[in-house]
Amino acid sequence: MYQKRLTVIPSETQKSSVLILPGENFSFGFRIQPPESPREYFLRIVGEADLFWKWRQESGIPYYICNTIEDVLTTRDTPREKFAVEIHADGEDFPRNAFLKFFKSDFLPGKKYTFECAGKSRALALEPGGEAVAELGIYLAKEGRHENDTWDMPDRIEALSLKEGTHDWETFSATFVMPENAVALLLRIGVRKARGVAMFGSPRLIPEGGDNLIPPFDHTNARRPQYNYLGENLSRREWSEFTFLLDGKEFHRTKQFTTVCRKPYIEIPLPPGLSAGKHIVTVRLDAGYESAVGYRLFQADLLEEGARDFEILAFPEFQPADVPCPVLLKTTRPNVTVEGEGVSCSFENPDDHVMVLPPMKAGAKRAVALRSAEQEESFTILQVVEGADDGVRLSTGDAVYVPQAPFEFMRYLRWYVENRVGNAICFRPCYRWSGSRTMNPDAWKKIIPYLEKLNLDYTLMVDGRELPGKNANPPDSLLAGPHYRGRQAHENDGSFYYWGNRLWQPESMPEPYADVLSRSNDPGGIQPHVRPPRNGSLAWWFFDPTDQKDMKGAAEAFVRNLAAARGESTRHTGPSTLFRYFYQAGYRFLGAEQMYGPEDLVLSSLRGASRAYGRSGYGAHLAVQWSSTPHNTPEHARRYFLSLAACYLQGVTEINTEEGLWRMEKEYVDYDRYSENCLRHLEAHTRFRRFLQTHRRRGVMTVPVAVIQGRYEGACNFAPDQVWNREGEPWKFGPPEDSMNLLRVFFPRFQFKAIYSCPCPVEPQGWYSGTPYGPVDLVPVELPDSQLKQYRAAAFLGWHTFSPEDSARLLSFVENGGRLILARPHLSTNVERCRPSHLPESDASLDRLLGEGWRTKQGVLRRKVGRGTVVYFADDLYPADASIRAAYEKELADAAMDAVREERKHGWIRGSEDVDFTVYDREDGLRVMYLLNINWWKPAPAGAELLFGGASFKLMVPTDEIQCITLSQNTAVLPLNLWMDVISMTDDSVRVQSAEGGELVVFRRDGSSCMVAVESGVAELSLKETK
């Protein structure tokens, strides 16, 4: 489809941004050239409310602006006081509330009180379930509930409701006796599902013979924050209200939300049938409230798009063979019939449509022609790819920036499919990024049928972290369909661990915020829907860090917290290595949040936990924006490609990028989809996507070495200070957690911590590492015996509380040929930290494993048991202790090297600190190796070695791509074209496919090698005569 973007502001006459004040007009012109074919036009307005720019980041605007009452305060019409509240309603189904909380010390139980409020209404009408009310919620003492807890709805309510219609100021009142067991009060001014204007004077609560307890309406008071009202959906200044005129005639009214990102934009369709020549657009800022701010216009673009009978919006670049082929079209007039590939589709209404073409046979350069009565259009699919769906999904969550509305959803979907972003899509309604306050069913009813026809799997990430937008998530019943993957929570390992054990502070947030938000937000999201634990008059964020005394209690409390917060979510993503506990809490699918931790390590922990709990699929969520800056460099985009590729190597089945292609944010950057930065990341994404679509990942990953995560282990790569984020000296990270750093034997460039580098030096930072010996799994100790026996070697490093059930399993592992490495603390039954090891008093299996008298021995004990070996460090020291660390590391390296010697019989890689690799064994007996050069800071080929029986071959692994070697019994082949894939092979022949052709390197077990040319399409090559 024809597309063109013309920037009309800035211009030669208007070089800088424009400040439009409330009530002002601003006009600008553009010229339309005579088009060669029909066109439609859109206006793209880039700008923001004129708010202080340093509030414009993730932790700023939703809290410091959106939660005040200042934008509904008026001095123009009040009941004989400075301010009144004036709320304009238009039937919105989200609540507009002002809250103020009072504690037990603020009032007198048993005393007579009068609750009163002046009210006024203008054309006020309530819809079913609507309200315009001032209410006083009374909380009574209850066993097990803190006296300051207002998480539940009030036990008793005194309500004063405004009259419908038009009425002048009138005072409403109610008299009551404060219950003897009253412990807290929550004042609420609320309007919902109403039309018209509702006005309130300052409520008053007057004890008999006493003074009013409620402060009058006023602006935010920094010195006495306990008297500030908490506003919910009362702020207006982040919503700029516009009227647009074209050539003097009004054609559109809208509101633009000022997001946490700089320079957000809106797109507006211009009236159809625009003539060639000059046109004038007038923008009027409509803002009738007293605290209104101006609007700063940075840019205006004219978007020109083709508008013939039908336009091809998107088609596949690589299409799977033997399955229907969807093509996204738009029609611009009623009753258009489009034909092609033996299919005829009649489209009654002008709209976007999906035309499904019949399955195609594998091959290269497949031309397709579509025609209507008036025109014919064609496109070429580069390759129709043979091979069954391997289940690997690629998506982004850039929809987090897209308002929940049909027009915006469909504009985004067009871009997503046109750019072939992936075969899945992730949605995440969130107020701070898109302005989505509430769930819009029309948006979902519009887009879901397209997702189904386009074969796009879709996921909902539940957010709801702030009062506006707390209920913006659609229910599963609305999303249901064969491509819906489910609801997904995010970063609850942060909520209940690495975010810290902070208190809600009244200086930054009025006191009822914690209770009001957590009781009413959608469950199963990033903001836990759980009752905040109390500490005196304040509330902990999400858990009490003082209520557990040992590792067992802390681990079990973590699982309980996760389960309580899960809601209806079946999926979770987070950056820590604590995945096993999420499975224990009831989640069915887990993903690792990547790009600010040691990537292979985190994924190995996810893979190990998934194996232990019988989950064949697992995901990744790439937070491309947070960990490093600047964003707009080749190195940043190269790191993004590495993260995508690492997911593929490590067996991830669902790879989702948080954002970064449609927009990218961090603090005050303003990158949108037209920026060099987003385009550079889109190019890296596309390079990976092409590899994904032209290859089929088959088989099961072969991992010869496992590191066992002990029982109740709480080492968190994202929290380097306190274990389980519990308070007190014993919880400080110590030898058990430091011992996790011995994983550098297997991942030499890794850092066991959260890695933020802003700005990022062009040198290794610890995100990526080569694997000299190959992949390693971090597996929980509860891994079933059948799974544990698949490893050649296993080792303990960090915390482990020994249980009698462990001894027989470890003995069986060694007797059946495994090598086990452990130290005395790993056999301790302690649950408390910083204690000498307490060994089992009698255990026959341990006696057989370690020999008689093992409890009193010192030094290193090495024993052959059955077909395997155990290496036991008998001193009461963790592996990180300086006196044994080097020896322990040597044992780990020796075990890994022995595994390499065994695996080279079938083919293996000798890697390096810069070459990451994994190995998959296919059902047809072939072995596939994937190699990745992780050196993003100094891009140059990195050396590795193919070990094939007694032969070895030097390899130079290039940057910015994945290399793939396929091996049969005596032959290995390496395609040199990024898009070439081996379908099948024997020692004497290979069947390959590619869009462009290229060359294969052939390696023989006898040490010989040669190069073979390959044509495009599907090719069967004989290898008998190659030398």
CATH number of the CATH domain containing 15 = 2.60.120.260
- Measured distance CA(941)–CA(943) in Å, rounded: 7
Same domain, 606 and 465: yes
Tell me if 533 is assigned to some domain: no
In contact, 821 and 794? CB cutoff 8 Å: yes
At residue 16, the pLDDT reads 82
Rounded to an integer, what distance in angstroms lies between the CA atom of residue 167 and that of residue 141? 39
Per-residue pLDDT, 56: 74
Indicate whether 842 and 977 sit together in one domain: no
Number of C-beta neighbours around residue 865 at 10 A: 18
Q: Locate 848 and state its tokens.
A: 């057989």
pLDDT means per 10 residues, the chain with 1027 residues, are 92 84 96 94 96 75 76 97 97 94 95 98 97 98 94 97 98 98 97 98 97 95 86 94 97 94 94 95 94 96 96 98 98 97 97 98 97 96 96 98 97 98 97 94 98 98 92 96 97 92 64 87 92 80 91 98 96 97 98 96 98 96 94 95 98 97 90 95 98 97 98 90 92 96 97 93 96 98 96 98 96 97 98 96 95 94 97 98 98 97 96 97 97 96 97 97 97 95 96 95 96 94 80
Q: Are residues 559 and 630 in the same domain?
A: yes
The two three-digit tokens of residue 96, written as one number: 């507009």
Q: CA–CA separation, 958 vs 979, rounded Å?
A: 15
Q: Which residues pair with 919 in a beta bridge?
A: 929
- Sequence-ordered strand ranges (E) for 665-811: 671-672, 700-701, 705-709, 776-780, 793-796
Bridge-based pairing of strands 310-314 and 318-320 is: unpaired
Q: Quick one: DSSP state of residue 639?
A: H
Q: Do 331 and 453 belong to one domain?
A: no
Same domain flag for 866 and 927: no
What is the model's pTM? 0.96
Both tokens assigned to 687? 């390079």
The answer as to whether 74 is a domain residue is yes
| Structure tokens, 442 | 């029309």
Token code pair at residue 479: 């999303």
1017 found inside a domain: yes
- In the DSSP assignment, the letter for residue 628 is B
Q: 334 in a domain, yes or no?
A: yes
Q: Are residues 133 and 182 in the same domain?
A: yes
User: Which helix H or strand E contains 762, and what residues bound it?
Assistant: none
Domain of 651, CATH number, reads 3.20.20.70
Is residue 974 exposed (0-12), middle (13-18) or buried (19+ Cβ within 10 Å)?
Answer: buried
Contact criterion met (CB below 8 Å) for 630 and 803: no
Asked if residue 629 and residue 483 are part of one domain, the reply reads yes
Q: Which pLDDT does position 990 carry in this prediction? A: 97
Q: E strands along 742-791, which residues?
A: 776-780
Domain of 147: which CATH number? 2.60.120
* Contact by Cβ (8 Å): 240, 295: yes
User: Do 344 and 250 belong together in one domain?
Assistant: no
Are residues 562 and 423 part of one domain?
A: yes
Asked if the structure places residue 513 within a domain, the reply is no
For residue 38, count CB atoms less than 10 angstroms from its CB and return exposed for 0-12, middle for 13-18, buried for 19 or more. middle
User: How is residue 892 written in tokens?
Assistant: 């780990």
| One-letter identity of residue 324 | P
Query: What DSSP string runs through 170-183?
Result: EEEEEEEEPPTTEE
C-alpha gyration radius of the chain? 32
Model pLDDT for residues 716-750, shown as the tens digit of each residue: 988 878 999 999 999 999 999 999 999 999 999 99
- 96-103 and 182-200: which strand pairing? antiparallel
Q: Could you read off the pLDDT of 213-248 as tens digits, one per residue?
A: 999 999 988 788 888 999 999 999 999 999 999 999
The alpha helices in 868-964, defined as continuous H runs, are 885-903
Residue 34 class from Cβ within 10 Å (0-12 exposed, 13-18 middle, 19+ buried)?
A: exposed
Contact 154, 515 (CB under 8 A): no
Q: At which of 232, 249, 264 does a domain end?
A: 232
853 and 921 share a domain?
Answer: no
Cα 48 to Cα 297: distance, rounded to the nearest angstrom: 7
Q: What pairs with residue 380 in β-bridges?
A: 367
Number of helices followed by number of strands (H, E) in the chain: 17, 57
725 shares a domain with 692: no
How many other CB atoms sit within 10 Å of the CB of residue 11?
12
Out of 903, 922, 955, a domain closes at: 903
Q: Are 121 and 132 in contact (CB under 8 A)?
A: yes
Residue at which a domain ends, from 265, 286, 306: 306
With b meaning 16 or more CB within 10 Å and e meaning fewer, what string describes 422-455?
Answer: bbbbbbbbbbbbbbbbbbbeebbebbbebbbbbb
Question: What total number of domains does the chain contain?
Answer: 6
In order, the DSSP letters of 498-538 are IT--PBPPTTTS-TTHHHHHHHHSPSSSSS--SPPPEETTE
Looking at the domain assignment, is residue 294 inside a domain? yes
Q: Which helix (H) or strand (E) holds 249?
A: strand 249-257
**Neighbouring-strand partners of residue 134:** 160, 189
| Domain contains 411 | yes
Q: Any idea what DSSP says for residue 496?
A: I
3-class SS of residue 442: helix
Q: Which domain holds residue 82?
A: 68-232
Coil, strand or helix at 811: helix
Measure the CA–CA gap between 493 and 572, rounded to whole angstroms: 10
Eight-state DSSP code of residue 757: B
**Cis, peptide link before residue 730, omega less than 30° from 0:** no
Judgement on whether residues 110 and 11 belong to the same structural domain of the protein: no
Q: What pLDDT, on a 0 to 100 scale, did the predictor assign at position 436?
A: 94
pLDDT at 888 (0 to 100):
98
Phi first, then psi, for residue 413 (nearest 5°) are -60, -40
Q: Return the number of other C-beta atoms located less than 10 Å from residue 14's C-beta.
A: 14
CA atoms 503, 509, 515, 517: torsion sign: negative
Question: What is the reported pLDDT for 506?
Answer: 55
Q: Distance between the two ends of the chain, CA-based, in angstroms?
A: 49
Looking up residue 380, the CATH number of its domain turns out to be: 2.60.40.10
CA atoms within 13 A on the CB side of 47: 28
Q: CA 810, CA 798: separation in Å to the nearest integer?
A: 17
Dist. CA 258–CA 47, nearest whole Å: 8
Q: How far apart are CA 355 and CA 342, in angstroms?
A: 12
In a domain, 715, yes or no: yes
d(CA 174, CA 158): 7
Copy the structure tokens of residue 332. 């611009």
pLDDT value for 466 = 87
Cβ contact 913:898 at 8 Å:
no
Cis geometry, peptide bond prior to residue 10 (ω within 30 degrees of 0):
yes
CA-wise closest residue to 186 among 92, 97, 113:
97
Q: Tokens 């006696």 correspond to what residue?
A: 847
Cα–Cα distance for residue pair 212/166, rounded to 1 Å: 29
> Is the preceding peptide bond at 225 cis, omega within 30 degrees of 0?
no
* Residues 885 and 758: beta-carbon distance below 8 Å: no
State the DSSP code for 471.
B
289 half-sphere exposure, CB direction, 13 A CA radius: 24
Question: By C-alpha distance, which of 916, 821, 820, 909 is closest to 868?
Answer: 820
